[in-house]
């Protein structure tokens, strides 16, 4: 590192990650201004609603909520790929980091682990809700309702990974049976084969097909074709 930076005319300080440094970074983040956009407000709203179901927000949860929101038709411009714990978009880290210090805490060092808690600022909830009512179209508000309906009964890390992984295979691989899904899950990584039993996959797949007949009809029409 010294060799690479020896020609840089600047003083560089390197800190070992610890709680004290995290506290300093939190104070610095709290001083910045963050402007809400429809995409940011929708993601934050879903994270608040997810916590209202009794679960904790995290990078993992934010990814799954953003994934389903984009699947519902909201163009978040996120590129989801098949990662270890299901669909994952690297770009979402930057979104959360930008929101950090104002609407949430936990991303100060941008090295948060997938299941490490992200702490939402509940004093900001009224502002987010007001923004959504004033700035989101009826279609966008319906997408929020659709996502919340979709994840109802799947409010846990296990269930969210299951549902998003099955849906990812439905949308990307056009699988049309539980057996096909199980085959692709085994190719995804061995962990999913050990974690998700056939009955789990069937429950998730049946749930997605049920949604194809209701709020997610257009999104999931491929299942019924």
Say if CB 66 and CB 92 are below 8 A apart.
Answer: yes
Q: Give pLDDT, residue 10.
A: 62
Does the CA dihedral 125-131-136-138 come out positive or negative? positive
**Across the 225 residues of the chain, what is the mean pLDDT of every consecutive 10-residue run?**
60 56 48 89 98 96 97 95 96 95 88 92 98 97 94 96 97 91 95 96 94 57 40
Q: Give pLDDT, residue 30.
A: 47
CA distances from 217 to 64, 73, 150 (A): 20, 11, 12
Q: Where are the alpha helices (DSSP H) in 91-197?
A: 91-99, 125-135, 138-151, 157-173, 178-188, 190-195
Q: Give pLDDT, residue 3.
A: 62
Domain boundary assignment for the chain: 16-224
d(CA 150, CA 172): 19
Output phi, psi for 107, to 5 deg.
-105, 20
Q: Give pLDDT, residue 212.
A: 73
Q: Give pLDDT, residue 121.
A: 98
Q: Give pLDDT, residue 208.
A: 93
In terms of Cβ atoms closer than 10 Å to its own Cβ (0-12, 13-18, 19+), residue 109 is middle
Say if CB 69 and CB 83 are below 8 A apart.
Answer: no
Q: Say what the pTM is.
A: 0.83
Bridge partner residues of 83 (DSSP): 86
Q: Which of 107, 106, 129, 168 is nearest to 46 (CA)?
A: 129
């Amino acid at each position: 590192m010294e060799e690479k930076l020896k020609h840089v005319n600047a003083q560089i300080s390197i800190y070992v990650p610890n709680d004290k440094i995290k506290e300093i970074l939190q104070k610095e983040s709290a001083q910045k201004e963050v402007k809400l956009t429809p995409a940011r407000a929708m993601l934050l709203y879903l994270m608040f609603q997810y916590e209202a179901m009794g679960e904790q927000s995290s990078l993992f949860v934010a990814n799954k909520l953003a994934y389903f929101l984009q699947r519902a038709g909201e163009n978040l411009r996120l590129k989801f790929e098949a990662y270890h714990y299901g669909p994952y978009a690297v770009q979402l880290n930057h979104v959360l980091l930008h929101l950090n210090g104002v609407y949430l805490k936990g991303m100060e060092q941008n090295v948060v682990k997938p299941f490490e808690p992200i702490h939402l600022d509940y004093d900001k909830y009224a502002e987010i809700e007001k923004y959504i009512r004033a700035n989101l179209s009826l279609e966008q508000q319906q997408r929020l309702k659709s996502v919340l309906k979709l994840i109802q009964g799947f409010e846990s890390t296990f269930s969210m990974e299951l549902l998003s992984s099955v849906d990812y295979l439905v949308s990307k691989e056009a699988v049309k049976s539980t057996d096909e899904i199980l085959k692709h899950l085994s190719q995804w990584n061995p962990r999913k084969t050990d974690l998700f039993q056939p009955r789990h996959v069937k429950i998730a797949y049946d749930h997605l097909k049920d949604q194809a007949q209701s709020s997610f009809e257009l999104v999931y029409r491929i299942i019924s074709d």
